[in-house]
Chain A
């Protein structure tokens, strides 16, 4: 019986790269991984948005209207809905001039209890240190 901690580090902008969406959908898939694991084994992902990746959490994205695809905002909300920890780097938000009021902070409209955590980069480094495996997207 073991839990493996995975850090999903998202560092690309959404829509210019498929990576942020793939990071989120892979992380969300932890919900069904147990069917392929031994009894008692678990996987615990944490999603960290850093660098250009913080743009993924801007709210009111118009991906469905513009591109006909699910927005990264919706994927982030889905991540919260399945109780994933999602961290956003505060220093990188500040660099882009993105304030708290401009980002997705929760998915209360979908019934999620989890909230996005705005954290200093040092906390993301700590998450990486504590992870069994780190996946850069």
Chain B
């Protein structure tokens, strides 16, 4: 088993990069690996609950909950999230809130790191 950490900086809507990262995380878990996801920049919109899945847009809520139930640790950048007007009460339960050093600490214990860049 390997440890994979992904830093996601791209928004869920408008780019398929985040959608790709979520699917990759799911595949890695299925293969028995440990996965950590760090959300920063525009990716933090992903933690907002009550996302409505319209067929023209990617959706993340259901997938995030599914990943967390399978043991994926997901953490959002507190500063990036508050700056975008999302409060903890608005967020999907189970997502961790922390500072950027959380990502660096996960990188330290990772075998592989993927940086999913922002816009």
Contacts and interface: CB of A to CB of B under 8 A. Distances in A.
B101 A18 contact: no
Task: Specify the main secondary structure of chain B where it touches its partner.
Answer: mixed
Interface stretch (A19-27, A49-57, A89-97): A19-27
Nearest to B116: A136
A41 B108 contact: yes
A32 B99 contact: yes
A17 interface: yes
Q: How large is the interface on A (under 10, 10 to 19, 20 to 34, 35 or more residues)?
A: 20 to 34
A43 B108 contact: yes
Interface residues of B, number: 20
A43 B42 contact: no
Contacts of B100: 25-26, 28-29
A129 interface: no
B104 A17 contact: no
Interface in B12-53: 40-42
Interface string B81-92: 000000000000
A19 B104 contact: no
9 contacts: A2-B108, A30-B104, A31-B101, A36-B101, A36-B105, A37-B105, A133-B107, A135-B115, A137-B117
